[in-house]
């Protein structure tokens, strides 16, 4: 099954921001486009707005005047649904209410031809449920664009329970012909991106609720150590706290209140207080010309130790050894247990160990856990979590060591798994669980997370680098700390860990 031919008209029903964006994508790709909105006058206003955006593309040299004129001639506001009768594809971008969408498609089914592809851009409703009102649900798919649709490349092509393979393939090939990067997925709450991304927000909120660190520090560590483009607090302020919380709640309820998807009370209170983020002028942060900038906690300068002793292997943090030597600090070789995570012994006796999911205060030794980094060489910040047995000298030595490597240091409270590490472990677990349940294949999951939410690395690939065995082991330790089921490794992660152990 090939993509929709360019001579075939594409209709977009609903002319808000997303509807206009989808219409622009189809228009620039070369299709005739019909715009329809139930509110009189909105389709015509949307056509004018799209024309203005095309004019800006001409000004920027991204569209020729001739192509602009041809596109404008192909764009038509429709005053009645009946005017969509000859369209080859109808994409809906109306109110996120199941009854509204079902009624719309029931009406469209009586208007369009039998070979017309019907698609919903829903981000939170079940594609299967929307199609449930149709006589012929086989031609119904989800085409989930990301906002702004003309700029963001990802499109999730969602197959409902009754979607025929030919329809899904045609939708996929059409999105690709439009210059997008489509990924296939089954109809599941949140699809790929909104399902797999939940821990990125949830773990930050949990750490905040436990008073481990403030929002600015958590954001800074995830950006400057984890390599994420934005931290979860600033990102949810940009998205809108009400929007993000509603998606979280919807996914949680759709999974029958599975503890892995539990919403955060802190975010609910923010929404109740109408601190919705940038759009309201206040969310986790204050906005406006005179608003003070929230700064992360950064430790004061400290002297670096002249030497440290390495015991065993640091595995994902092995690059630190070379960095320490490059900084002119002697690395002495101590004893270590093969295949067991090692540690760095500081001159005062404190141990530096990579976050492993255990609580620092459960260990007999004076232990300072340091966080996982995407790349220890390029990371500009590191988080440290000292146990109560660590004295001031030991903490200063740890801070000075990482400062000598060119890192800013954020000392945070008692936090099993810390910030980056437990966020990444959970993302890996959620990604493998989605693959294991047939939501999407591993390549599409990683593509969706890199393009849809700009993750620095796909979570499946991150899991390969860390190894499923160690991710599962660390989550088991977290599960012991929080025995609610939230951190229990998924069966898919457990199976992958077993395969790695015996391969």
Active site residues: 123, 144, 156, 194
3-state secondary structure of 367: strand
> Do residues 234 and 219 make contact, with C-beta atoms less than 8 angstroms apart?
yes
Local structure of 352: helix, strand or coil: strand
Residue 440, Cβ density class (10 Å: 0-12 exposed, 13-18 middle, ≥19 buried):
buried
Hey, what are 38's tokens? 């139930």
Q: What one-character-per-residue DSSP string does 265-326 give?
A: HHHHHHHHTT--BGGGTBSSSB-STTPPPP----PPP-PPPSEEEEESB-GGGTHHHHHHHH
Tokens of 335: 């004893």
What is d(CA 104, CA 13) in angstroms, rounded to the nearest whole number? 9
Nearest CA-CA partner of 29 in 83, 89, 85, 82: 89
Q: What is the dihedral of CA 395, 396, 402, 403, to 10 degrees?
A: 150
Give the Cα separation of 251 and 262 in Å (integer).
9
Cα–Cα dist 186/184, whole Å? 7
Residue 351, classed as helix, strand or coil, is strand
Q: How far is CA 193 from CA 268, 390, 447, 449, in A?
A: 22, 40, 10, 6
> 364 CB contacts (<8 Å, ≥6 apart)?
none
Both tokens of residue 74?
Answer: 């192909």
Assign 443 to helix, strand or coil. Answer: helix
Using CB atoms within 10 A of its CB, is residue 403 exposed (0-12), middle (13-18) or buried (19+)? Answer: buried
Strands 343-345 and 307-311: antiparallel
Helix intervals (H) in 10-164: 17-29, 42-59, 65-74, 98-109, 127-131
Q: Is it true that the peptide bond before 165 is cis, omega within 30 degrees of 0?
A: no
Structure tokens at 137: 């649900």
Q: How far apart are CA 484 and CA 497, in angstroms?
A: 22
- Residues 308 and 314: beta-carbon distance below 8 Å: no
């Amino acid at each position: 099954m090939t993509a929709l031919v360019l001579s075939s008209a594409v209709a977009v029903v609903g002319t808000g921001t997303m509807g206009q964006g989808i219409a622009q994508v189809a228009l620039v790709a070369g299709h005739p486009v019909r715009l329809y909105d139930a509110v009189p006058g909105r389709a015509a206003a949307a056509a004018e707005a799209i024309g203005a955006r095309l004019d800006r593309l001409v000004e920027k040299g991204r569209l020729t005047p001739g192509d602009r004129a041809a596109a404008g001639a192909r764009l038509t506001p429709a005053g009645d649904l009946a005017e969509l009768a000859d369209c080859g594809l109808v994409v809906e971008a109306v109110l996120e209410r199941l009854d509204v969408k079902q009624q719309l498609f029931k009406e469209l089914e009586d208007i369009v031809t039998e070979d017309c592809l019907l698609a919903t851009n829903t981000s939170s409703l079940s594609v299967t449920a929307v199609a449930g009102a149709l006589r012929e649900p086989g031609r119904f798919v989800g085409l989930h664009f990301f906002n702004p649709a003309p700029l963001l490349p990802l499109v999730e092509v969602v197959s409902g329970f009754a979607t025929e393979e030919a329809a899904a393939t045609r939708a996929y090939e059409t999105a690709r012909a439009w210059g997008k990067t489509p990924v296939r997925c089954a109809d599941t709450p949140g699809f790929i991106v909104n399902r797999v991304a939940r821990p990125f927000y949830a773990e930050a909120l949990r750490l905040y609720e436990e008073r481990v660190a403030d929002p600015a520090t958590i954001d800074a560590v995830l950006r400057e150590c984890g390599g994420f483009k934005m931290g979860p607090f600033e990102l949810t302020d940009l998205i809108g706290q009400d929007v993000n919380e509603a998606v979280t709640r919807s996914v949680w309820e759709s999974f029958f209140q599975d503890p892995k998807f539990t919403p955060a009370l802190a975010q609910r209170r923010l929404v109740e207080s109408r601190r919705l983020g940038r759009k309201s002028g206040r969310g986790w942060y204050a906005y406006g010309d005179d608003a003070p900038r929230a700064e992360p906690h950064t430790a004061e300068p400290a002297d670096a130790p002249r030497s440290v002793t390495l015991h065993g292997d640091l595995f994902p943090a092995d690059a630190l050894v070379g960095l320490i030597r490059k900084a002119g600090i002697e690395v002495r070789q101590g004893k270590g247990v093969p295949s067991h995570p090692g540690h760095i012994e500081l001159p005062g006796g404190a141990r530096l160990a990579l976050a492993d999911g255990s609580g620092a205060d459960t260990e007999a030794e004076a232990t300072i856990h340091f966080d996982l980094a995407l790349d220890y060489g390029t990371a500009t910040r590191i988080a440290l979590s000292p146990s109560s047995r660590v004295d001031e000298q030991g903490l200063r030595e740890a801070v000075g060591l990482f400062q000598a490597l060119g890192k800013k240091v954020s000392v945070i409270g008692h936090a099993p798994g810390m910030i980056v590490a437990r966020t990444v472990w959970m993302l890996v677990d959620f990604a493998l669980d989605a693959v294991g349940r047939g939501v999407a294949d591993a390549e599409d999951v990683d593509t969706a997370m890199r393009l849809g939410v700009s993750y620095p690395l796909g979570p499946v690939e991150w899991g390969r680098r860390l190894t499923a065995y160690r991710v599962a082991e660390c989550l088991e330790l977290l599960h012991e700390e929080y025995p609610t089921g939230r951190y229990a490794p998924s069966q898919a992660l457990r199976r992958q860990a077993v395969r790695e152990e015996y391969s």
